[in-house]
Amino acid sequence: MASTDPKRRGERKGRTAQSTVFPRQRRDDARGAEDFDILAPTGSQPAQRASRRPSRKPADGASAEPHRGKTAATARNRRAIPSGTPKSKSAKDPQTRHRLWEQVKDSVLPKRIMAVEKTTAACKPVIDPSTTGDAHGIRMLKSPLWCYHCFFGAVMFLTFLGAVMVFSSSVISNISSGKSPWSQALTQGKFCLIGLVFCFGASRLKAPAYRRCSGVILMIAWGFQLLTMSPLGVNYQGNTGWVNLGIFTMQPAEFMKLAVCLWMPLGVVIAQQRSTDKDHRPYAVPIIMLIICCALVMLGRDMGTDMVILIIGLIALLLGGMPKSWFGIMGAVVAVLAGVLVIQSPNRLARVLSAYTSCDTTQMQGTCYQSIHAKYALASGGFAGVGLGNSREKWNYLPEAHNDFIFAIIGEELGFVGAIVIVIMFVLIGWCLACIALQSKDRYTSIALVSIAVWIVGQAIINIMVVIGLLPVMGVPMPFVSAGGSSLIMCLTAAGVAISMMRQETQIASATNPLNS
């Protein structure tokens, strides 16, 4: 039965209001009134609540001062370190280093790379593949299937022509040195066969295998490059860029180019995924890796190859979305370092000065000799050339006629027509790789194909510019054409890798699948 006493009904109503309006305050009553100064009782009703709290008197012999001191210290700490205050730089640096180290492992270890693949979304192609399938006429140049066959044909044509021109340009020097006139041609033919085997094997592998093994390939390339600093290293004309492994001699820098083409796309893709508008530090990982590659090659004093690797890495960083302001800083640093490397080497400085200044009588028999005779060869070739095998500069006038300056012999024997055919072949290689890269839905594949195109076409442009005198002599061979086993084998292997990646495209896969024939 409800009570009719107004006073008791008011007290019960007040208790009900307390339990309804202040449930958290009632739970916290047992924690002491000192911890909640803001809820200190004021008036008659709060005083009643305070009287119902359990007493927290100090024990005998104890003092309440330590408790008040702890409470005051807690309050000071709360005022000194408010919530949301950013951490200090010393606290951020270990976390940043840890994140970057985890990013390195994600881009090197195969299992971690496979985990990253699952979180990578397909990208929208620049050119819609559905609009190029049934193209005719000039539009057929954008067809993936046409680019696939054209790329393969251009590589095979340059390889065959290179073997012929190596024989033609080296026969006189072989006879004069007491060797068989066929010795250099047979060696080049052997390297062609090995390179074609590597090309076929690389084209049979699945494209995702290159992504997953790119970190391991990069580590192997570093190991081979370090061998040049060991007793196995071979010095040739001032560059220690070869390794004598007993049965053969190899140039590890050529393998480094392939490793950079395979790893840098993965590095920049991961960096792009983890960077934000305000934090671009993930790009530090691919930049540091590129610096290590260039530094290892530069230990052998091979500045020409180092420049090719640097260009490949910079293009990959550009396609990977690295901030443009970073390129300005990197460009300034590279320019300063290049100037220092040129100035501290009398041989490099003499080559640079001879390329951009007039040569006197003494220099015409020294640093300018090779460039001058290369121009003589191109000038004497005319439009149609003097005929295959009829070069005069290859009679021990032009040094390295079968290697770095083979384009001069092509221009002399085959004339302007032969030289322009070589240029067209490299243009087709670059065009085909770029077209398929723009139609790919896989960002890694797209950047990797462009990197291979930059390697092959960029190196050919540098070689041609050296021969015609626009760049100083730097010892960069022409891909597929110049004599040399390491360069030819690695270029053919890179072509096989590109073919494997091209087969990921739907039109090419359906046309090249034996089950569909």
How many C-beta atoms lie closer than 10 Å to residue 497's C-beta? 23
- DSSP tag of 41: -
In the predicted structure, residue 305 carries a pLDDT above the cut 70: yes
Q: Which amino acid is at 137?
A: G
Pull the structure tokens for residue 312.
């490949």
What is the pLDDT at residue 453? 96
What is the pLDDT at residue 353? 86
Of 264, 312, 310, whose CA–CA distance to 291 is shortest? 310
What is the pLDDT at residue 63? 44
Kindly give, in sequence order, each residue whose CB lies less than 8 Å from that of residue 325, ignoring residues fewer than 6 positions away.
none
Burial class (CB in 10 A: 0-12, 13-18, 19+), 505: buried
pLDDT in tens, 368-392: 888 899 999 999 998 989 999 889 9
What is the pLDDT at residue 134? 65
| pLDDT, average across residues 323-341 | 89
User: Poorest-confidence range of 82-86, 132-136, 288-292?
Assistant: 82-86
pLDDT in tens, 107-135: 888 888 888 877 777 777 777 666 776 66
pLDDT in tens, 435-490: 999 988 889 999 999 999 999 999 999 999 999 989 998 889 999 999 988 999 99
Maximal CA-CA distance, the chain: 132
pLDDT in tens, 145-185: 889 999 999 999 999 999 999 999 999 988 988 888 898 99
Tell me the percentage of the chain whose pLDDT exceeds 90. Answer: 42
How many C-beta atoms lie closer than 10 Å to residue 236's C-beta? 11
In the predicted structure, residue 189 carries a pLDDT above the cut 70: yes
Q: Which amino acid is at 466?
A: V
In the predicted structure, residue 1 carries a pLDDT above the cut 80: no
In the predicted structure, residue 317 carries a pLDDT above the cut 50: yes
Pull the structure tokens for residue 87.
């951490």
Q: Which amino acid is at 480?
A: F
In the predicted structure, residue 91 carries a pLDDT above the cut 50: no
Pull the structure tokens for residue 193.
């066969």
Q: Strand, coil or helix: what is 246?
A: coil
In the predicted structure, residue 340 carries a pLDDT above the cut 70: yes
* Contact yes or no for 145/511 (Cβ under 8 A): yes
Give the distance, in angstroms, between the CA of residue 268 and the centroid of all CA atoms in the same chain: 6
Residue 239: its H or E element? strand 239-244
What is the pLDDT at residue 214? 93
203 vs 10, residue with greater confidence = 203
What is the pLDDT at residue 130? 67
Kindly give, in sequence order, each residue whose CB lies less than 8 Å from that of residue 171, ignoring residues fewer than 6 positions away.
181, 182, 184, 185, 389, 394
The whole-chain average pLDDT of the chain stands at: 81
Write a three-state SS string for 139-155. Answer: HHHHCHHHHHHHHHHHH
Q: Strand, coil or helix: what is 349?
A: helix
| pLDDT, average across residues 393-408 | 90
What is the pLDDT at residue 74? 47
**pTM of this prediction?**
0.80
Q: How far apart are CA 264 and CA 437, in angstroms?
A: 15
Q: Where are the beta strands (DSSP E) in 66-135?
A: none
Burial class (CB in 10 A: 0-12, 13-18, 19+), 28: middle
Tell me phi and psi for residue 133, to 5 degrees.
-70, -45
Q: Which amino acid is at 398?
A: L
Q: Strand, coil or helix: what is 249?
A: strand
In the predicted structure, residue 311 carries a pLDDT above the cut 60: yes
In the predicted structure, residue 203 carries a pLDDT above the cut 80: yes
Tell me the percentage of the chain whose pLDDT exceeds 70. Answer: 79
Residue 242: its H or E element? strand 239-244
pLDDT in tens, 223-275: 999 999 888 888 877 778 889 887 888 899 999 999 999 999 999 999 988 88
Start-to-end CA span in the chain (Å): 96
Burial class (CB in 10 A: 0-12, 13-18, 19+), 177: exposed
> Per-residue confidence at 70, pLDDT binned at 50, 70, 90?
very low
